[in-house]
Amino acid sequence: MDDTRLTNINQIREFLKGSQGVELSLEDYAIEEKYEFVDHTVDRLHYSKLSRREKKVAIKYLKKVTGYKKAQLFRLIKRARRGTLKRKKYARKNPNRKYQVYDIKLLEETDEVHLRPNASATKEILRREYEVFGREGFENLSKISVSHINNLRNSSTYRNSWINHTRPRQVPIGETKKPETHGKPGSVRVDTVHQRDVYHINFVDEITQWELVICVPRITEKYLEPALYEMEEQFPFVLVNFHSDRGREFINYNVARILHKLLIRQTKNRSYHCNDNALVETKNGSVIRKNMGWWHINKGMAGKINSYYRNYFNTYLNYHRPCRYSTKTKIYPGGRKRKIYDQTMVPYDKLKLVSKQKKKNFLKPGITFEKLDEIAYQCSDNQFATIMREQERPLFDKILKEDTNYGSR
């Protein structure tokens, strides 16, 4: 195509007006010829010196003649302004495929027996298979990079043969189910609330809402074992079930061993059942966060906080703080159920009511309601709450002072 007479934007504008409805595309020409046309047009029109409105006319002209889209023309013009526009020759950096189907199968077998560790650990295993144990089949894989292991795992060959990712490992700790209370106290829901350096372990009975809070500096075997024994000691009734989420602080062999020794069954949340542990999670906010706040607490205060819990706070929660209980369930036409919380009393009164209704004494041997009455009725609710708050103020003063000293170190 000879367009040498079109030397400026005004001539191109007139050309576009007069060529409406006429096909002038170089679409069927070779790429080299189209690139040459774009290069000459950019140089002839001095594209870089054109105004924005004039550049739109030039692009419209190139689009009509070459058949390229606007985005492609922007890229070609940018290359033409840097120098001569020529077609790049494609050169594959690595024409030979280094890792064949055989290598991918070896990787899949390694992942299967090791339960698919991370890529760094897998790389070390593949290296040892060849260099340490002399297995010739792993020579190629022994030099693979960590990133390429992930590439091979995402390949179609690997994904079509790998089936273990749909078979999660079953940890033989606890039973995945919603605990059956049968309307009797003793089924405890548990969760933890942290304040940076301390952890509040919250235990709540499902039927009576009897609640115990224990403070520890860390969730480790050293502190968790005495906390569990203290929990079992402070509950006035026999515990039969211990339910938690699937976090590793309670789903581990140390906790399982302690609960087995105490003859307490362990259960854990079901997948896709967010309400399995809802009772204790609501108590985390309405009880612990409301009373202890959100600020940082130094771990050195865990012992003093736990003494405050044991002597005052737990007593207040169970003998002087009323809770709401559900006695009815409303069923809607679509099958949705809604519990009606129409009963309000303190957990101790609920424990007495359940024992009366079931005609059974759920208390531990040596514990009687007469002894518990002395604790429950020694002070009124307001009187004991006042005593508790008076003990709370110096505790929080020490927490603030300890935290200030900790921050200044």
Sheet containing 198-205, strands listed edge to edge, beginning at the edge strand earlier in sequence: 175-176, 265-268, 241-244, 187-195, 198-205, 211-216
State which of 117, 133, 166 marks the end of a domain. 166
pLDDT digits (tens, 9 = 90+) for 80-116: 888 888 887 766 665 567 888 889 889 988 888 887 8
Q: 322 and 221, same structural domain?
A: yes
Specify whether 189 is located in the same domain as 313: yes
Residue 95 belongs to a domain: no
Query: Does residue 179 belong to any structural domain of this protein?
Result: no
Confidence of residue 22 (pLDDT cuts 50, 70, 90): low
Domain that holds residue 59: 9-82
* Residue showing tokens 């001569």: 84
Average pLDDT score over residue span 296-313: 91
Q: Pairing between strand 265-268 and 323-331?
A: unpaired
Long-range contacts of 319-322 (CB under 8 A, 24+ apart): 319/346, 319/347, 319/348, 319/375, 319/376, 319/384, 320/346, 320/379, 320/380, 320/381, 320/384, 320/385, 321/346, 321/347, 321/381, 322/346
Looking at the fold, whether 75 and 197 belong to one and the same domain comes out as no
Query: What rounded mean pLDDT belongs to the chain?
Result: 85
Q: Do 149 and 192 belong together in one domain?
A: no
Total domains present in the chain? 3
Residues 31 and 66 in one domain: yes
Same domain for 368 and 293, yes or no, is: yes
Verify that 126 and 66 share a domain, yes or no. Answer: no
Q: Are residues 60 and 108 in the same domain?
A: no
Q: For position 388, which CATH number holds?
A: 3.30.420.10
Residue labelled with tokens 């003494």: 307
Averaged pLDDT, 40-55: 86
Burial readout 13-42 (b: 16 or more C-beta within 10 A, e: otherwise): bebeeeeeeeeeebeeeeeeebbbbbbebb
The letter for the amino acid at 347 is P
β pairing state of 241-244 and 211-216 = unpaired
pLDDT value of position 409: 45
pLDDT in tens, 347-391: 999 999 999 998 888 999 999 999 999 999 998 889 889 999 999
Neighbours of 114 (CB within 10 A): 11
Q: Can you give the pLDDT at residue 408?
A: 46
Closest CA to 276 of 248, 252, 241, 321: 241
Question: What tens digit of pLDDT does each residue of 243-258 get?
Answer: 998 888 888 888 899 9
Same domain, 158 and 216: no
